[in-house]
Chain A
Amino acid sequence: MKKERMFTFSGSSLRQKLSWLAAGLVGLILLAVNIGVYRGTVDFYFSGVLVVALINVILAVSLNLINGFTGQFSLGHAGFMAVGAYVSSLLTIYLDWPFPVVLLIAALVSALLGFVIGLPTLRLKGDYLAIATLGFGEIVRVVLLNLDITGGPRGLGGIFPKTTFFSAELVALLTIIVIGNIIRSSHGRAFVAVREDEIAAEAMGIDTTLYKVLAFSIGAAFAGVAGGLFAHHQMFIDPRSFTFQRSIEILVMVVLGGLGSITGSIIAAVVLTILPEALRGMAEYRMIVYALLLIGLMLVRPQGLFGTKEIGDFLGIERVRWAKAKSQQPAAGVLKSHGGDGR
């Protein structure tokens, strides 16, 4: 039997050629950055910014699973990130467990919390859910503020700097692959069905509650990992690192990139992390620029830069291999008797 190709290419337009060019360019830049960091020619401060960008990629892609693909409006991502950050830091500080194990535990604890929070709150819709998740994030923050083991408002210092550019890059890559593969599967289509029409999704045999909780748990797990990477990069965390504002920053990335586009989230996360650094003189205007960006975007392009499109759509890669129309079915003939118009 002939081996089947994963992708087929449809005709190419100028736009496609440009997209290929852009993708190639981005690839080259990525390669150069990796070599640069590896050989130590990238300056220490900038490689730190890159780590934050990669952490933001993880946060944005995972939030996109909840907000973009499943259509659930979560404003509590910073809460899950906080849990991951504190859990992993405490494990490395007091038990000195290996970093990958610690990150995995951070993911599990956050996912569990996502599940526990998700189960009851996901009965809520739209802005009610938004406000409930916001409330959850604030409760997490207040709890962290009041516990002894977290250092309360003084924060937690002395965290080992275990996050490197390459570990962050690896986790970001894994996040993209895992979430991307889930999206392009029957389970991923169930998420999208929940977003499009919950009642119709139920009628098509989709357990909508299960998929909402699943989206929340998976999103929370990756946010937890991102928190772990963040803590072991900053070496100091306190409850102020995980306020409602942080959740909004992640949301802006997702919305800017396009709710329902992983490609968009990645690009938006990187650009929105590096751009403010490039304009460091304007640091105090950063939040104002953010706000204006958010408002302007909603007014001009509410679907975000990429809408629900992915890189493959721009490159002209068609994921579905159609077997081409086979023998005409009898009913097709029956139906041809009315063309759908003439009313």
Chain B
Amino acid sequence: MSLLEVRDLTMQFGGLTAVDRFNLTLNEGDIVGLIGPNGAGKTTVFNCLTGMYAPTSGEILLSGKRVDGLHPYEITRMGMARTFQNIRLFKQLTVYDNIRISFHNQSKYNLAAAVFRLPRFAKEEREILEKTEELLEIFGLYEHRNEIASSLPYGEQRQLEIARALATNPQILLLDEPAAGMNPQETEALTNLIRWVKERFDLTIFLIEHDMRLVMRLCERLVVLDYGVTIAEGTPEEIQNNPKVIEAYLGEEAI
């Protein structure tokens, strides 16, 4: 059984069809890219997958269970986490709190345990602290842990967002333009990081990206969206040579 199965996902806003019969299969350990010109409906696909939008029609199955129409928090708890195109950190909170908050669904103690400070509370809080430290170290944010998230440089804010998503313990990680606004060196480092994190946390990754170098180096498979319609799907090489893609997308970008 595949990890994520999307069948004929369609999203309409009023009369506009933003995504038209989108299909996707993700197997464990896949790393798949979603590309397409601006306004092609890529982020809308993400928003449907993560429950931000309820799709107009179609089915989304996560580990064989229907998740379309569920709340975003339910989908996150079922193992699909995401980052945002326009970074959505808890801006006024510390780096540390950003990550710690995201361990929320892994703490099982109830309100009473918190009020009476039961042993359960202490034990789980200690575990959260340890895991938070680990993530901070992996992402090189340990020294910045007490800084306010919005004061971090842009590149590190993007990394913090990935770290925060990992704190929810996902099986599938959706990255929405993780390299946006990064210079070539940073993009290079990010490519390595994504690859490393994927092995370390046994992740399946689905990402939207405009940076073709990152996509070509990282992804095993690509899906190309144009005006909400999937116009091609295949390995990076196949996509590079696909005339439809060249016409719709690579042609205007002149790669």
Interface residues of A (CB under 8 A from B): 177-178, 181-182, 184-190, 192-193, 196-197, 199-208, 214, 320-323, 325-326, 328-332, 334-338, 340-343
Q: Which of B120-153 contact A (CB under 8 A)?
A: 121, 124-125, 128-130, 133-134, 137-140, 142, 145, 152-153
* Chain B contacts for A203, CB-based, 8 A: 50, 52, 72-73, 76, 81-82, 84, 88, 165
A189-B104, A196-B93 are known contacts. Are A207 and B73 too (CB-CB below 8 A)? yes
Separation of A206 and B81 alpha carbons in the complex (Å): 12
Q: What is the distance, in angstroms, from B76's C-beta to the closest C-beta of chain A?
A: 4
Q: Which residue of A lies closest to B100 (CB)?
A: A189
Do A320 and B130 contact each other (CB < 8 Å), given the known contacts A203-B81, A203-B88? no
A205 and B71 CA atoms in complex are apart in Å by 9
- CA–CA, A328 and B92, complex, Å: 28
How close is B132's CB to chain A, nearest CB, in angstroms? 9
Q: Using a Cβ cutoff of 8 Å, how many contacts connect chains A and B?
A: 161
Whether the Cβ atoms of B189 and A338 lie closer than 8 Å is yes
A341 to B52, CA, bound (A): 33
Docked-complex contact B114 and A342, CB < 8 angstroms:
no
Closest to B77 in A: A205
Known: A204-B104, A205-B168. A334 touches B88 (CB 8 A): no
A271 to B47, CA, bound (A): 48
The distance in angstroms between the C-alpha atoms of A200 and B101, with both chains bound, is 11
Asked whether A331 and B193 contact (CB < 8 A) given A186-B128, A205-B77, the answer is yes
Q: Quick one: given A199-B88, A328-B137, A337-B185, are A188 and B114 in contact (CB under 8 Å)?
A: yes
Give B contacts to A, CB under 8 Å. 50-52, 71-74, 76-77, 81-82, 84, 88-93, 96-97, 100-105, 107, 109, 111, 114-117, 121, 124-125, 128-130, 133-134, 137-140, 142, 145, 152-156, 159, 164-165, 167-168, 181-183, 185-186, 188-189, 192-193, 196-197, 200
Instruction: Give the residues in chain A near B188, CB-CB below 8 Å.
Output: 337-338
Q: Which of the residues B140, B152, B164 comes within 8 Å of A204, measured between beta carbons?
A: B164
Structural contact, A196 and B186, CB atoms closer than 8 A: no
> Can you list 24 A-B contacts with CB-CB less than 8 angstroms, sorted by A residue number?
A181-B114, A186-B109, A186-B125, A187-B114, A190-B101, A196-B93, A197-B89, A199-B52, A204-B73, A204-B102, A205-B105, A323-B129, A326-B133, A329-B138, A331-B140, A331-B193, A335-B159, A337-B185, A337-B189, A338-B155, A340-B152, A340-B156, A340-B186, A343-B183
- B138 A332 Cβ-Cβ under 8 A: yes
- What is the interface of chain A mostly: helix, strand, loop, or mixed? helix
Q: A205-B77, A322-B133 are in contact. List 16 more A-B contacts (CB 8 A).
A: A186-B107, A186-B114, A187-B111, A189-B104, A192-B90, A203-B50, A204-B105, A204-B164, A206-B104, A323-B133, A326-B133, A326-B137, A337-B189, A337-B192, A340-B152, A341-B153
* Nearest Cβ on chain A to B92's Cβ, whole angstroms: 6
* Contact of A338 with B130 at beta-carbon distance under 8 Å, contacts A200-B89, A204-B168, A332-B137 already known: no
CB closest chain-B residue, reference A322: B133
B114 and A196: CB pair below 8 A?
no
> Chain A residues with Cβ under 8 A from B152's Cβ?
340
Nearest Cβ on chain A to B143's Cβ, whole angstroms: 9
| Contact call A197/B88, Cβ cutoff below 8 A | yes
Contact B137 A205 (CB under 8 A): no
